[in-house]
Structures are given as structure tokens and as C-alpha cells.
Amino acid sequence: MAFLAAALDRVKPSATIAVSQKARELKAAGRDVIGLGAGEPDFDTPDNIKRAAIEAINRGETKYTPISGIPELRQAISKKFKRENNLDYKPEQTIVGTGGKQILFNAFMATLNPGDEVIIPAPYWVSYPEMVAICGGTSVFVEAGIETNFKLTPDALEKAITPQTKWFLFNSPSNPSGAAYTRGELKALTDVLMRHPHVWVMTDDMYEHLVYGDFTFTTPAEVEPGLYDRTLTINGVSKAYAMTGWRIGYAGGPVQLIKAMDMIQGQQTSGACSIAQWAALEALDGPQDFIATNRAIFEGRRDLVVSMLNQASGIECPSPEGAFYVYPSCAGLIGRKTGAGKVIASDEDFVSELLEAEGVAVVQGSAFGLGPNFRISYATSDALLEEACSRIQRFCASLDG
């Protein structure tokens, strides 16, 4: 009898975590490595949020909390959804989890049966299909390539829907591509979903506040109120508030689904960290002005990286609308050779040889379901980004045609 669960046979380790770990190991060994794999802001958590956490500790807010979150935070989440997304979620329609990952996982665990399908546009965040697999569902991948700016078309969505489809998993702005859907583009997708009342929508809005230029963020149930009763709107404080380590995610949705997720969480972790919840309350209810400041810095970094990568031989890098990633194509380098005679046969070869030759750690596109591409996180300083892109230019120029 096998000791480990068969479910583990369906799951792969996180490629983004693996790249970050590899970069850390090389640095520890004395190599000059620039790590562009991690998806977290390099800014510190704002002082007012840190103070709120310290005050909570001093007040003795160190006990178990209700499973779905402290009432004050659920009220703040309810107000946030109304204020920023024009969505009416009562506090009892909200839930707080240990990061957005737990929210996603609990929703799948609460709803998926063997044979249930989840439509996932590719490229996708590496954890989506693994969560679906652990929970017994089947991922249905639909490619959204560079020719559509990494955005799913209504026709492609329509063709992917079957009687077994339970969820459409939507992420805008996207990790890994940074692509964000305009209101019109999103309406075209929700029009398709309105024709299929058995399909639910799980929308991961984690990068909501990181959109650039005059782009306006919208979310599915806001664009199409007819989807409200079958949409789970997921968000968190990690990215916009530079609170990745605090581990607070949240969602709004139908009471029946929220109760089911609460039941699972109650047997799994119970409530999220009490101190982190009080900090998240201050994040949502407190001053928001720093978000625009950080966003402007990210936008400048995006422009720098896109410009420099497009000057690299064989690289094509679209300019994304949001998040802090770019997803350039290295198709123009496939088949070329390194100075040592190694053939670049895939995006995995490209990132491996780039790390070896120049000490720049990026993530291969095949890990996100679409290649030959690679993902760069530009959540680091201009100086490091400029140096990394110069190294990438040098590496590309060194390859024989």
C-alpha cells in the first residue's frame, strides 16, 4: 500500500518558488545573481498599517478569531467592494483567509467533484491547475497568446465550455503576463457566460490597483450584474499594500458558497492571524494615497524593462496594462546556440542558460502553460532592472544564429 496520497502524483512544485530558491542558493555560493522571479513588491508595508498591528498586539488582540474573520475586517471588506467595485456584499457574504491562495483552494475544495472542469486561460498563475488537481477537478486550458495580447477571446471561451464546466477562472491584471481586460473586453466574455448559467466565475483581482496609464479596472460581477449570484470575487492586501508576508486574502460571494468555505477553513486553519487581520483593516480603511505613488514607480519600471527587452536580439516584449510582470517571447532565439555549443531548444533552456551565463533568474513560460516565453517580475529597483536587462541583451547577442 502506498503511503503518500495519489493526489500528489497530479501536482507539480511551484516553478516561481523554485527559481527564487535557486537564485538564493547561487547568491549564497558567492555568485552575482539578480533574481527577477519573485512576485512581491519591494516596498515596505506602510507605517500606519504596521502601527495598527502593534496597537492590536498591545490591546491583547492575540486570541482566536471567528473562522471567516473579525467582524470589523469583514465590514471593511464589504465597504471596499462597494466603494471601489460597485458590488454589494454584506459582511456575511465575505470571508477572510490566510492569503488569496487559501481562498482559491477552499472555493475549489468546497465545489469540485471528480469530472468537474475549470476553464483556465493560459498563460496562468502556476498554482491554479495544481489546486484544481488536488481538489479532484480537471483543468481545461485555453491559450491566449501574444497575438491577442495574452487575452482570452469570447470565441475561445465559448468553445471551451462543456456540460461539465463548473468554474471559469479569471485573472486580470494577469500573473504572469500583466495583461488586463478593458470593460468592453470583459463584457464580451461575460456575454458568453450569461448564455451558460451552470458556469460559475472565480475572479482573482489581486492586482486590481496596479494598472497603468488611463486604464480603468473592472471586475466581472460589476460589468455584468447578472453574474452576481454565481461569482466569487477574490482579492487581498498582498500586492497593493505591500503585505505579502502578512498573509491576508479575502472574497465576496453568495452566502451558500461562503458558508461552505467557512466550514472547510474551520477544519483546516480556523481564522487567519489576528494581528494581520487588524493590520488589513487599517490597510482597507486607512489612507490610500501611497498606492498611486507606488503605481507610478511600477509604471516607470515597466517602461524601462519593455524598452530594454525589445532592444535584445530575438526578444519580443509587449507592454502590459497592469501587475508588475512582463511576459516576453523568446521564439526568435529557439534553435540558436550558446558559445559552448548548447542549443536553445525551449524557453526552459533559455532561462537555464541565462542564469548560468549572466546570473539573471527569470521563470520559463512553460511553467505558466504558454511558451516559448519567460516571466520577469519588475518589482525591484531601477538600477537592478537596468543591469539585468543589459545582461539579457548581452546574452541574446552572444547566441549564434
State whether 271 and 302 are in the same domain.
no
Cell 535584445 belongs to 312
Task: For residue 364, give the CATH number of its domain.
Answer: 3.90.1150.10
State whether 311 and 245 are in the same domain.
no
Domain around 355: 6-44+290-398
Strand bridging mode 34-35 / 94-97: unpaired
- Out of 285, 319, 344, pick the residue that ends a domain: 285
pLDDT, tens digit, 9 for 90 and up, residues 121-132: 999 999 999 999
State whether 23 and 113 are in the same domain.
no
State whether 234 and 365 are in the same domain.
no
pLDDT, position 27? 84
pLDDT, tens digit, 9 for 90 and up, residues 361-390: 999 999 999 999 999 999 999 999 999 999
Amino acid code (one letter) for 10: R
Beta bridge partners, 165, equal 117
Kindly state whether residue 205 falls inside one of the protein's structural domains.
yes
State whether 156 and 90 are in the same domain.
yes
State whether 310 and 365 are in the same domain.
yes
Inter-residue contact 380 to 42 (CB < 8 Å): yes
Beta bridge partners, 374, equal 364
pLDDT, position 37? 87
Kindly state whether residue 79 falls inside one of the protein's structural domains.
yes
State whether 213 and 188 are in the same domain.
yes
Q: Which of 73, 57, 139 is nearest to 281 (CA)?
A: 73
pLDDT, tens digit, 9 for 90 and up, residues 249-308: 999 999 999 999 999 999 999 999 999 999 999 999 999 999 999 999 999 999 999 999
Kindly state whether residue 163 falls inside one of the protein's structural domains.
yes
Give the count of domains, the chain: 2
- The secondary structure of 17-83 as a DSSP string is HHHHHHHHHHHHTT---EE----S-SSPPPHHHHHHHHHHHHHT--S---TT--HHHHHHHHHHHHH
Q: How confident is the model at residue 71 (pLDDT cuts 50, 70, 90)?
A: very high
State whether 104 and 117 are in the same domain.
yes
Query: Helix 255-268 and helix 99-111: axis angle, to 10°?
Result: 110
State whether 384 and 242 are in the same domain.
no
State whether 104 and 181 are in the same domain.
yes
pLDDT, tens digit, 9 for 90 and up, residues 328-356: 999 999 999 998 899 999 999 999 999 98
